[in-house]
Structures are given as structure tokens and as C-alpha cells.
Chain A
Amino acid sequence: MTKLNMRKMQKNQSGRIAAVNAVGELGRRIRDMGLVPGARITIRGRAPLQDPVAVQVMGFVLTLRNREADYIQVEVN
């Protein structure tokens, strides 16, 4: 078990969110969309130039920029 920043995750890599260190509007948005500690996520792909990233959480796919991904720590196997 290692903790990894979401920005550093590879395509098709899965993990469980350990912490979301964002406050204010950004934090609220990230959490409202289901990116909360304990949620299982899988990286579904990255756009050309590596940004933004598509993440599967629960049953759906979200897209966020690396700027937002930086706030999210993920536990990976």
C-alpha cells in the first residue's frame, strides 16, 4: 500500500481515495461529485498533453485537471 498523488497515477490504475486536501469552493465541488475518502477510483484515460484526466468513481466518469487532482491523495496497491 502506497499513497500517491492522483496526478502521478497511470492509465487503468485503481486505488482508494485517502484524503482530499482542498478547502472552499474547490473542496466542496470535488466532494459533491463523489470524490470523498474511501471511494474507489480508476484512471480511465488522459487527454493529449496529459491533462485533463478522466476518473471513474462509483458508477460514472468524471474529468478534472491536474490542478484539481493535486489535492487528492490515493492509496494504491
Chain B
Amino acid sequence: MEPTIALAGNPNSGKTTLFNALTGARQHVGNYPGVTVEKKQGTYRQNGDRIRIVDLPGTYSLTAYSLEEVVARDFLVDEKPGVVINIVDASNLERNLYLTLQFMEMGVPVCIALNMIDVAKKRGIAVDAERLSALLGIPVIPTVARNGRGIAEVMAAAGNLLRSGENIPPLAISYGPEIDPVLDEMAQEIAPSSFLAGRYLPRWTALKYLEKDEQVMALGRTEAPALSLSLEERVSRLSKRLIDTLETYPEAVIADQRYGYIRAIVRQGVIACRDGGHRIHVSDRIDRVVTHRFAGPIIMASVLLGLYHFTFAYSEVPVGWLEAFFGWLGSVADRSLVDGLVKSLIVSGIIDGVGGVLGFVPLILFMFLVTLISWTGALLVARLLRSTVIRGEPSPFVMELPPYRLPTFRGLFLHTWERAWQYIKKAGTVILAISILLWAMMTFPGLPESRIQAFEQARASAIATAPGGLLQEIEAADEEAQLSPRAETLKERLDTIEADQAMAGLRHSVAGRIGTFLEPVSRLAGFDWRTNIALLGGFAAKEVVVSTLATAYSLGEVDTEENRSLARTLSASPGWSPLTAWSLVVFTIFYAPCFVAVVCIAREAGSWKWGAFSIVFNTTLALALSIAVFQIGSFLK
């Protein structure tokens, strides 16, 4: 098996940039089993050897505070990577080293990539990497992940660690006269038994008990209840003593001592600050403008507007190409396949459905690209929203406001491509299946024999009443040819019968019946039964609303020869006005979240009641709002 190197570090330390630089396009994105935390893997080549690189989620610590921390910790324990490359933000050394210490305490081989050394220098902070390395006893290599500086050196150092294979003694920090003796006793109690021995070192397990780590304690209780209880008793005795004498807690003392240890190291000539480190950073200057009481919201609004304008203005051309391509595909299929169910499935179901959704790919690509380019804008929005919207949630809310940084082009394109690819995959799988299902609902059951015959008779009588030769003229004529006025009339009559039959068929189908059933209510908001079908499809995935609308209207379309765009079909349709469109927009924004979202809500909230609530409440709200829009709009007209 190829050796594994894990990348770990604080959020915003440049971990992903380093990962992209190391692995390039050779990455694989998945999830850690059972959780929604993203797992990125890739391959790096060194002297002909392949090394697996795993990008661990960014964390500040290795407690069990968040899912990310648990995932990172479990990975280190379960998969035992040969080396951990710890990316440390040089401009923010002390807090970043807090995580480093915890890796060293776990006994994993660590190598530090002292990243953003250039940013630190600009801020007037000089870090002595050699001195830091000597004090910590691990390799420390200055890097600038953005431009690739130092990356080869980091990998060389990591490769040396990997090959040496020697056991690195875990770091044992002194936690002071109160904690140390208890910690030692606990470790001695753990060592002879094989308590959690496959996973953790005795001292580390003891430390986690002192920190009241829920995950480790739960594991301990199931594996050795008696020993676990004895350890917990020791901890609570110490806790009581600390509260009584020093008004503090073991976990507080441990954190203090860790930071104390870091401070002691950093003060031994590791950091040299010019100007006392009190420079005004670029981010602060930007913030002074963009979070200004009055200018802030205005800038936010214009960034968002600009974003939309840019996205829609510049993606129009490629979207047009894709639409033309699917239109062409549709007409080829239309011409080359025999009339019947298969043709209907391929043209109306698959090409219209998937094509309608894939048509948005350029839009999505643009949107992500633009979003990422205006990353500063997004961050600013986040800062403003964070300061107004998010409040009242029960979990602790302490988060970093990272400085503004320019993204690298490589990261930008990789990320954009990743997102677009996810969308394309969704179009090819989930949406394809939904399109086929919806097509079936709009096709079956077919019209009864008697009604089909009625249409056949109407067609026959139209042909019979017209003078002979006209039918042949219509059939012989190609698209551009000018028909005689009388042939034109006959053709129109035949097309109308065709459309009436398609419409009757749609109305007779399962979807049509549901749509018609809902029409008395939806009429109030201006939706006819065909729109209802589209909205029903939207419950499967919101993107489907547009494509289903296209299918519903193309099934009953008069002009089957040319593929008209949905926008033109709708604006030509008598039941549609701009007001209907507004009402539909409002309804689509607010009504029941898609099926997948409802499942997530139910799972996260722990009960299906919340899932059902989100469907009923949102749909009622959406209906009320769209009825209001439509009725008030009609009244004003």
C-alpha cells in the first residue's frame, strides 16, 4: 500500500491551497463515512513513489467540539497516516501551534509547513523557523503555498520522516502541580490494562478524561466500565479541589498550560516583531469602508447586483449554444425515430428534461467563478449577515473573522469545476430519473380507444372535405416551401386537432388529473393545471420546475415543427401574463423544499414531524403570498 500523508491545520491557514499545489488535478472528493464532512484525497509523486495525500478538515483543536474535529482525530487514530503535515499560519503562530501541540501529544509524526511567511513579513512579523524547529524537536519549513515556495522542501522533510519510521516519543507537557500528579497516576492505572490501547496512548487517554471528552469517555465506558468509573472519580475529585481552592477547572488549566507552553517557546527568539506588531492591516482598511454603517449595505447590494448582472449577461452565449444543441438533438431524434412511446420518452422526457437542466451549466460555472472572484464580496456579505441574522442559537458562537485574501487561480478553477461537475452528475442521475418518472406520469394512462377514434374521425373528415391533392402537397412540402392558401388552412386544422389530442391526452394522464384536481385552488394564484404539474415535479428537485413546464407545454404545443423556447411558448400562451410569472416566482421561492431537503430536515431535527411541517407550512405560506400577488396585481390592472 502506498504511504499516506495527512494535511492538517487551522481553517484559513492555506491548507487547501497546499493540497491543490501538491495534487493538482489528481484529486478525489468524497465524504467521510456517515458524515457530511468532505474528504479530499490525491496523489503526490516523489522520486517515482506514489504518496497518498489526505486533506483533513480544518480545525482549531482536537477536542470533540465539532464534527470536523472528531473526523480529523478519528482519521489519525484509525488510519495512522505516516506523517502529518501541519500547516501553520506564520502570521498567527500562537493559536496555530495550539493544534500542533495536540498532534505531538498524540504521538503522531508531525512536520510543520510554516505557511504565509510572506504575509507575516508584510505585517512586520519575522519567524525563526530553525529556532522553532529546535525548540519543538520537529521539522519546520517556511512555505508560501500560493506560489509553491518551500513545498518541495516540506515534502522532502515529510518523506524523511516517513522513511525513518522511528517512533517519535509523544510530547509530555507539564500541566502544573495540581494536574501532573493526577495525570501520571491515571496514566499508570491505564498502562497495564489494555484500555483503549489500540487507539490511544495512556497519557493521552488520561488527558482526555481530564478534559471531559465525551467521545473518549463513551468509548471507555463500553470497553471497561469499572476502570472508566475509577478514572472519572479521580477527575471529579480533582475538579472539586480545583474549584474549591483556585476557582478553576481541569480543562481550563490544561488549555492555559498549553498556551503557556507555546508562549514560552515563542518568546525564546522565535518571533521578532517590528513596529510592535501593531500595524494596520489591509483587511482592517477594507473593513473600515465595507462594514461602514451606511456604505456597507449599499456596497453589499451593489456587489450582489453586479454578480447577477455579470452572471446572466455573460453566460447568455454559452447557454444559447447548449439550448441550440439540445434543440438540434431533439429535432434529430424527432425525425429519425418512429412515432410512439419510445420517441415520446426520448424527446419529451429525456432530451427536454435533462437538456433543460444542463442548459444551466454555463450559468453555474459563471456563478461559481464570479462568486469566488468576488470572494471578498462574499466574505463581506457573510460578515454583515453574521452581525445581523445569526443569533439565538444554543451552541457556542465563537468564530474567526479571517483576513481578506486573494484566491489563487488554480484553486479558483479547481473549485469551480468541482461544483459544476457535481451539478452535471446530478443532472445525469437524479434529474434523469425524475424526468423519466414525470414523463411517465404525463403519458399514462393514455386516452381511451373511443376518444382516439373521435380525433381520427375529425382528422378524416377535415381531409375528406378538402379538395384532393392538398394532403399530398402538405406532405411533399419541406419546411421553407410556401404552401397554397387552401393547403395552409388544411394544415392549420390538422395541427389544431393534433394539439387538442395531445392536450386531452395530458389532461387524462395521472399528472394531468392531479393538476386539474388542484386547479380550483391554484387558479386563485393564476396557475393552470399544466403549471401545477410543473410545481409537483419541483418537489422532486426545484430545477425540474422549468423543464417540466417545458414538457407540459411542448406536449400540447401547436407548432411541433420548430422547437420554440419555453419563454416564447409561455408568452404566446393566453393563460400567461407577466403577473402569472411573478406569482409563479413567488410560489417557487417559498413552497415546500425539495424531497431531499425534507429528508435532511427530518433527519437533523430527529423527527418526521418537522419534515411534514416544512412541507405544509411552506406550501401554505407560498400559496398565500402568490395569491396575494396575483389578486392584488389583477385588481390594480
> Are A59 and B94 also in contact (CB < 8 A) when A25-B65, A32-B61, A36-B256 are?
yes
Q: Which residues of A contact B92 (CB under 8 A)?
A: 58-60
On whether the beta carbons of B249 and A33 are closer than 8 Å, the reply is no
On whether the beta carbons of A59 and B93 are closer than 8 Å, the reply is yes
Q: Name the one of B277, B388, B397 contacting A59, with C-beta atoms under 8 angstroms.
A: B277
On whether the beta carbons of A25 and B395 are closer than 8 Å, the reply is yes
- B485 within 8 Å of A (CB atoms): no
> Are A64 and B98 also in contact (CB < 8 A) when A45-B291, A48-B388 are?
no
- A31 within 8 Å of B (CB atoms): yes
Chain A residues 28-77 with CB under 8 Å of chain B are: 28-39, 44-45, 47-49, 51-52, 54, 57-65, 67-68
Nearest chain A CB to B504 CB, angstrom units: 59
Chain B minimum-CB-distance residue to A33: B398
On whether the beta carbons of B396 and A34 are closer than 8 Å, the reply is no
On whether the beta carbons of B95 and A31 are closer than 8 Å, the reply is no
On whether the beta carbons of A60 and B402 are closer than 8 Å, the reply is yes
On whether the beta carbons of B259 and A34 are closer than 8 Å, the reply is yes
On whether the beta carbons of A29 and B255 are closer than 8 Å, the reply is no
A contact residues, range: 35 or more
On whether the beta carbons of B291 and A34 are closer than 8 Å, the reply is no
Q: Name the one of B95, B284, B287 contacting A33, with C-beta atoms under 8 angstroms.
A: B95
Q: Which residues of B contact A44 (CB under 8 A)?
A: 284
Q: Which residues of A contact B247 (CB under 8 A)?
A: 19
Q: Name the one of A28, A47, A54, A58 contacting B95, with C-beta atoms under 8 angstroms.
A: A58
- B335 within 8 Å of A (CB atoms): no
Residue-by-residue, is A2-40 near B (CB-CB < 8 Å gives 1, otherwise 0)? Answer: 000000000000000001100111111111111111110
> Are A62 and B61 also in contact (CB < 8 A) when A27-B249, A27-B252, A39-B259 are?
no
On whether the beta carbons of A31 and B395 are closer than 8 Å, the reply is no
Distance of A9 Cα from B261 Cα, bound (Å): 29
Instruction: Describe A's contact surface by its main secondary structure.
Output: mixed
Q: Which residues of A contact B386 (CB under 8 A)?
A: 47, 52, 63
On whether the beta carbons of A34 and B401 are closer than 8 Å, the reply is no
On whether the beta carbons of B397 and A33 are closer than 8 Å, the reply is no
Nearest chain A CB to B59 CB, angstrom units: 9
Nearest chain A CB to B434 CB, angstrom units: 41
Nearest chain A CB to B11 CB, angstrom units: 11
On whether the beta carbons of A62 and B94 are closer than 8 Å, the reply is no
Q: Which residues of B contact A19 (CB under 8 A)?
A: 247
Q: Name the one of A28, A35, A65 contacting B211, with C-beta atoms under 8 angstroms.
A: A28
Q: By CB atoms of chain B within 10 A, which of A27, A32, A36, A39 has the most?
A: A32
On whether the beta carbons of A23 and B249 are closer than 8 Å, the reply is yes
Distance of A51 Cα from B398 Cα, bound (Å): 12
Nearest chain B CB to A47 CB, angstrom units: 3
Distance of A32 Cα from B63 Cα, bound (Å): 9
On whether the beta carbons of A36 and B255 are closer than 8 Å, the reply is yes
Chain B residues 17-73 with CB under 8 Å of chain A are: 60-61, 63, 65
On whether the beta carbons of A64 and B398 are closer than 8 Å, the reply is yes
Distance of A49 Cα from B384 Cα, bound (Å): 12
Nearest chain A CB to B299 CB, angstrom units: 15
On whether the beta carbons of A36 and B401 are closer than 8 Å, the reply is no
On whether the beta carbons of A28 and B63 are closer than 8 Å, the reply is yes
Nearest chain B CB to A57 CB, angstrom units: 8
Distance of A20 Cα from B388 Cα, bound (Å): 26
On whether the beta carbons of A30 and B401 are closer than 8 Å, the reply is no
On whether the beta carbons of A34 and B256 are closer than 8 Å, the reply is no
On whether the beta carbons of B259 and A36 are closer than 8 Å, the reply is yes
Q: Name the one of B98, B212, B287 contacting A34, with C-beta atoms under 8 angstroms.
A: B98
Q: Which residues of A contact B277 (CB under 8 A)?
A: 59
Q: Name the one of B259, B387, B396 contacting A30, with C-beta atoms under 8 angstroms.
A: B396
- B400 within 8 Å of A (CB atoms): yes
Instruction: Return 17 A-B CB contacts under 8 Å, by A number.
Output: A23-B251, A25-B395, A27-B252, A28-B211, A28-B251, A29-B396, A32-B60, A33-B95, A33-B400, A34-B259, A52-B387, A54-B401, A57-B95, A59-B95, A62-B399, A62-B401, A63-B399
On A, residues with C-beta under 8 Å from B are 19-20, 23-39, 44-45, 47-49, 51-52, 54, 57-65, 67-68
On B, residues with C-beta under 8 Å from A are 60-61, 63, 65, 91-95, 98, 123, 125, 211-212, 247, 249, 251-252, 255-256, 259-260, 263, 277, 284, 287, 291, 293, 386-388, 391, 395-403
Q: Top 6 nearest A-B pairs by Cβ distance?
A: A47-B387, A31-B255, A32-B61, A26-B396, A61-B401, A29-B396
